[in-house]
Structure formats: structure tokens, C-alpha cells
Structure 1
Amino acid sequence: MNTTVATKFTDLNLIQPLLDRLKELDYKLPTPIQAQAIPSVMQGHDLIAGANTGSGKTASFALPLLQQVYELKKDKADNTSNKGNFVKGLILVPTRELAKQVSDSIKSYANHLNGAVKTVCVFGGVSINPQMLALRGGADIVVATPGRLLDLISSNAVKLDKVKTLVLDEADRMLSLGFTDEINELLALLPKSKQTLLFSATFPEQVKALTKELLKDPIEIQLQSADASSLVQRVFTVNQGQKTALLAHLIKEHQWQQALIFVNAKNGCEHLADKLSKRGVFVDVFHGDKGQGARNRVLDAFKAGEIDVLIATDIAARGLDIEKLPVVINYDLPRSPSDYMHRIGRSGRAGEVGLALSLIDHEDYHHFKVIEKKNKIRLEREEVEGFEVDQSLIPKLDKPMAKPEGTGKKKRKKKSDQTPDVWLNGTDSE
């Protein structure tokens, strides 16, 4: 493979309609993952691509896939075009919201292809009938959650035996235990001869072992970094039982216009929302028990800035692109260390300044050390004035540091000082 990395989109051999659209979208230069992945995909290689959230992974597979399908349709020798309910490109994602987001991006990139590429998005939680109608005559690209896709296959609405390219977005989640049966069932329906592309922000060792069975001589691109300069990570220690009070204090003091708070369970969202409302902080919740229409409305309102604080489970941790989200807060630490990176990646996207806070009491110390070790990071423990911790409960190696800048009643730094107080102010199966 050519090791020269493209510095402009025109270096990537993309067709003019795609280049014109990228110019309209103000995509000035390819990101590192785009510069390395797009040529590999267009050359037909299988690919394992790891890069931080917000680094442009969707365009890395969407653009070459669109070009491949477009050129295939222009080839009169192609006998799969508009004949039966077949699919050429299949993109599997773990959540409904990510399915819609990826599909919308693909349709946007295809704006100047004059309707030549048919993209259909399918996921659960909504009526299956419109999706069946959309798949009549087949589709060039299908973006799907596994459960709903299997439902459509069982109804003979779509066939996978003509798929030429398979993409697993958020591949580490797609290859985890929660999706194993569904993914294996889908893989059995796909042709053996196909291009397979895996994209994710993290690739744990157990997932890397599985990729050997899925891919043939893959090219591997690993650009993950725990030290994204646009994202500041901080850890605040607090006594057990005082997390909610500290959270309410931080929200009120810094008046965040948008804050995304992660908890581990659906009922935890409602419980925390109730406790915050009693402290005068009004929030909304986002989890799998909400109907799809309600989920869409909440997410759209949060993206539009109509909701200041959103409490969510990890269905919001995968791939969702919320422009200029200033702060993400781990109220509960994620159970999986890899999910830590996915959560905090909702902020500081595409070079924007972001802040990721984790609130930990003494029972969280050991688990956070595991998260640090797995992600090759080490963060100072800080405490907020008025919420000092009981020192007798803190392990010796994890003594908290001095009060952080911007959280107590200290003299504020100038705006020009790029210190952390700048940022303090400012999965479905179906």
C-alpha cells in the first residue's frame, strides 16, 4: 500500500460530485483517519480503523462506499442494479440514533449524485411497514441495527447475498456479547467474498482476536489517543452520598448551556432527574425505555440547545455527534473501561474545546484506576470547595489534589489563560 498520506481531498481520487459536496459542507482538509482510510477502502482492502470520537470516521467509510456504489451502477455489466431486493453496501450500527445519524450523513454526501444512490435506514422502535416499502426494489446502501434487519430478512423484505461491502461502525460494541448471536446470524447470510470494514474509537484485545475471523489481510490504522488537546479530562472526588449535591452545585455555578450526564441504568436516569429537580435543576432523560418518537424529540431538542441538561444511559455514548457540546459528566463510572472513551468523546469533537468530568466517591476509586490503566491515562484527583472528602476513606496513592481552578471562590484567570477553568465555564439491538 502507498504510505503517502493525502493532505487534500483532491489527493484522495474522489469523484467530482463528492468533492463539490465536501466544499459546500466546508470540509477543508481530510482528517488523519480520512486521509489514511479512504484510499485503503477504495483499493478494496479490508480495514480495521481506530480513531478518537469526533475524528471523522463516518466520512472515512461513507465517501468511498458512495463512490464504489455510484461507479458500480454506471457499469452496465453490473447485474444487481434495480433487480430484486438486494443490497450492495451494508452498515451495521449499535443504536437507532446512530443509524439515523450515519444515514443522514451519507444522504448529505450524496447530494450531487442526482439520486443515483439509494440509501435506506432501518431500526426498531418504529413501524416496520414504511421500511419494508422503502426496501422494495432493493437499496444501494442500507444502514441498520441488527435486530430490525433480521426482522426484515425474515419478512423477505431484503436479501444480503449480493452485499459487496460490510461496515461495522462502533465495531467493538457490535462484536461484544450483547450482539454476538445477531451478528453471527447476519454474517451467515452474507457472501464470503466481500470487503469488510471495522471502525471504532476503541478496540479491546478480545475484539481484536475476533477480527481475525472476519477480515482477510486487513490494513490496520490506529490513531487513538487519550490526550486529545481539545478535550480536558478531570476527576472530582466527593464523599459517598454527596454526588448529587456536587453535581447540582457545578451545574448552577457554571451555568452550562448544554451538559450531558451519564448514568448506568434506565431507572438511574429518572432517579437522578428527580433528585436534581428537587435542587432546582431541571433536566430531561434519554434511555431505552422511552419510545422512539420521544427519544428523537429529546435528542433533537438537546442538540438545538432547548435542553440544558440531559441525563442518559450509554445509548448516547456511541457515535452521536452533538455540535460544540461543552461538557460531559460521568455521574456513574462506565462499567466497561472502553466505554469511558466513548462517553467523553461526545465533547471536544472535531477540534472543539470540551470538558469531561468524572465524579467519584471512595467506592469508585478502584474502578477508576482500572479505567485509567486500560486507557493509558492518569488524572489528578481534585476536590471542590465545600465538598471536601473524608481523607480517611481515600487510598494513600489517590489522595486528592488541591481545589481545582474555577470551582472555588478564587480570583478568575484571564480569558487568554488556557487553563481548565476556561472549560468549566463555558445500545439497541433493534
Structure 2
Amino acid sequence: MLLPCLKGYDVFVQSRHKTGKKVASLISVLQKIDVAISECQALILVSFREKAEEIQKMISQLLYSSVKCQKCIGGTNIDEDIKMLSLGAHIVVGTSGRVYDLIRKKALRTGEIKILVLDEAEKMFSCCASDQISDIIKTFSYELQIIILSTRISAELTEGAKKLMRDPVKIVTKNENYERIKQYFVCAEEMDMKFKTLCELFKTFRIDKAVIFCNLLSRVDSLNVKMKQKNFNFNCLVSIDIL
């Protein structure tokens, strides 16, 4: 799903939990942020407050730059949200009710927002939040990219997506069992150690194809040089090549 998201298409994704759809959507969001602009440029709506906290944490783990992410959720002091937004936020993650209130109060300006993500959208459309989402979208005076993430399909979600999206790319996965896939975590903080570990992985396992993600363009360039020096068949793909 990463490629159509980066290309700017509306994208509808349905897959089970922990299949990487949320990370892919966040990578797409971060690629669209211009830190020189202090206004909100991406809006992520969630069904529950806990989800907003989870996504805010994920964003902080994905980036090394000065991108600011503000959490705006119900049940907290709205004046504090207004104060934080006045200081500048590139990404806003929040519940639909609180976000709509902030837009009505003109505390959250939508003029620079390029992308809207609905996380676990089936829950939002099943709990009567669809009207609030529609009201939020009506505040935009232009078409923006919409990414809808869901774990299951419902009639309410299908109807809501049809109203909101323009010729979306639809990605629907089977409920395959990934529990038998082995996963490993290697703690390697230094860049030299990371590269040595990567080479060891290729020596230890038979890997015909692999995708390697880097946080910075400079690291992609560096890895490209090092991998080719080791005679790996290696190609780079960065957002500037896609957009």
C-alpha cells in the first residue's frame, strides 16, 4: 500500500491487526510534511483516545526531524489544545469530536492540510461519528488525499468510504495466519554495527528479496554505496523518485 499512498491516491485498506498498514500510512504522512510551514499539514482521526496516544508515539519513533505532532482528544482541557496548536503543529492526531470543535473555534486551521487518515475507520462509522467526519471534510475548500484503514468491512464503512473518496485504490487482504513467521529484533545503535548485522543476516539466511527501510535519505545513499561495494544487487527508492 505504500506506493499508492506516496503517489497521492486515495487508498482504502482492509487487513487484520499488525500487518503494517498503520506504519505505511504514517510514512506517507511524514513524506508530505514541510517543516518550514508551521501549520497543520496532516490530520489523523481515531476512534478512541488511547489510539491517538499510540499513533503519536509511533510517529515520534519513525522520525528524526523537527516535525511536531499534537494529540487532540476529548476528555481533556480544550484550552490546552488551543494553546499548543497556536505554537505550531505539523500533524494533528485526534478524535473526531475534539478535532471538529477545534476547527469551529478556528484553533485548528485546515488551509495547509494535504492528507487525512482514518484509523480503524469501521469503529468510527459504526458509532455515529460519520456525520462529524463529513462535517470536518466540508471545512476543506479543496480536495485532499484520504487514506482509510480498517480491520473489517461493514455496510456503514463501505457507504461512508464511497461518499468521501475519489476513485480509491482498494487493498483488501485475506485473514492469513502470520503467527508462524519468525520475527527478530537486533539492538545495533551504531551505523557501522547496523551494516555489519545486515551483512550477517544475508550470510546466515537465504534471502532472495528484501526491503530495507531507512529514516533518512542520507542513510539510503550511504547504504546504497556500501551494499554495492559488497556486490549486492541493490536499488534505491525514495519519495522524490515516486512523486
TM-score (norm 2): 0.69
Could you say what secondary structure the match of 1:135 adopts? helix
In structure 2, the residue matched to 1:156 is 106
In structure 2, the residue matched to 1:230 is: 179
How many angstroms apart in 2 are the aligned matches of 1:221 and 1:151? 32
CA distance in 2 between counterparts of 1:205 and 1:180 reads 13
What's the C-alpha RMSD, in Å, of the aligned pairs?
A: 2.1
**Aligned position for 1:418:** none
Cα deviation for residue 135 of structure 1 reads 0.5
The one-letter amino acid paired with 2:169 is I
Corresponding position of 1:38: 2
CA gap of 1:129–1:190, structure 2 versus 1, over 3 A, is same
Offset, 1:220:
0.8
- CA distance change for structure 1 residues 351 and 165 in 2, over 3 Å: closer, same or farther? farther
Q: Does 1:93 align with 2:66?
A: no
Q: What's the CA shift for 1:137?
A: 4.2
User: Match of 2:48, as an amino acid?
Assistant: T
Which residue pairs with 1:184 in the alignment?
134
Q: Could you tell me which residue of structure 2 aligns to residue 106 of structure 1?
A: 59
Decide whether the 8 Å contact of 2:122 with 2:156 is kept in 1. Answer: no
**d(CA) in 2 for partners of 1:68, 1:194:** 12
- Partner in structure 1 of residue 151 of structure 2: 201
From 55, 58, 78, the counterpart of 1:128: 78
Call closer, same or farther: CA 1:169–1:136 in 2, change over 3 Å.
same
SS at match of 1:193: coil
Change beyond 3 A, Cα 1:154–1:193: closer
TM-superposition CA deviations, 1:222-251 (whole Å, max 9, x none): 1140x42529xxxxxxxxxxxxxxxxxxxx
Q: C-alpha separation between the residues in 1 aligned to 2:141 and 2:17?
A: 30
**Count of matched residue pairs:** 183
What SS is found at the alignment partner of 2:27?
Answer: helix
- How far has the Cα of 1:50 moved from its partner? 1.1
What amino acid does structure 2 have at the position aligned with 1:127? N
How far off its partner does 1:62 sit? 0.6
Answer 1 or 2: higher relative contact order, Cα 8 Å, separation at least 6.
Answer: 2
CA deviation vs aligned residue, 1:351-394 (integer Å, no higher than 9, x gap): 78xxxxxxxxxxxxxxxxxxxxxxxxxxxxxxxxxxxxxxxxxx
| Residue 32 of structure 2: aligned partner | 68
Residues 172-191 of structure 1: CA deviation (Å, up to 9, x unaligned): 12223521221121121123
Change (3 A) 1:181 1:205: closer
Q: 2: CA distance between counterparts of 1:176 and 1:192?
A: 27
Contact 2:15 2:174 in 1 (8 A): yes
1:138 to 81, 88, 104: 88
Residue aligning to 1:51: 15
Q: CA 1:48 to 1:143, structure 2 compared with 1: closer, same or farther past 3 Å?
A: same
Q: How far does residue 108 in structure 1 lie from its aligned partner after superposition? A: 1.4
Mapped to 2, the partners of 1:182 and 1:195 lie a distance apart of: 18
Residue 57 of structure 1 and its aligned partner are, at CA, apart by 2.0
Contact 2:125 2:156 in 1 (8 A): no
Q: Contact 1:163/1:191 (CA < 8 Å) preserved in 2? A: no
Bigger CA radius of gyration = 1
CA contact (8 A) 1:146 1:183 kept: yes
Give CA-to-partner distance per residue, 1:186-220, whole Å, 9 cap, x none. 12112331100001111223422321221111111
What per-residue deviation string (whole Å, max 9, x for no partner) do you get for residues 288-310 of structure 1? xxxxxxxxxxxxxxxxxxxxxxx
Structure 1 length as normaliser, TM-score?
Answer: 0.40
Residues 1:50 and 1:127: Cα distance change in structure 2 (over 3 Å): same
Indicate the SS of the match to 1:167: strand
Which stretches in structure 2 are left out of the alignment for 5+ residues?
184-243
Alignment partner of 1:212 is 2:162: yes
Aligned-partner Cα distance in 1 for 2:23–2:100: 26
Q: 1:210 to 1:128 in 2, by over 3 A?
A: closer
> Is the contact between residue 87 and residue 158 of structure 1 (CA under 8 Å) also seen in structure 2?
yes
Instruction: State the secondary structure of the residue aligned to 1:166.
Output: strand
SS at match of 1:101: helix
- Contact 2:130–2:160 under 8 Å retained in 1: no
User: Percent identity at matched positions?
Assistant: 27
C-alpha change, 1:166 and 1:180, in structure 2 (3 Å) is same
After the TM superposition, which parts of structure 1 deviate over 4 Å for at least 4 consecutive aligned residues?
A: none
CA distance in 2: counterparts of 1:63 and 1:180, whole angstroms: 25
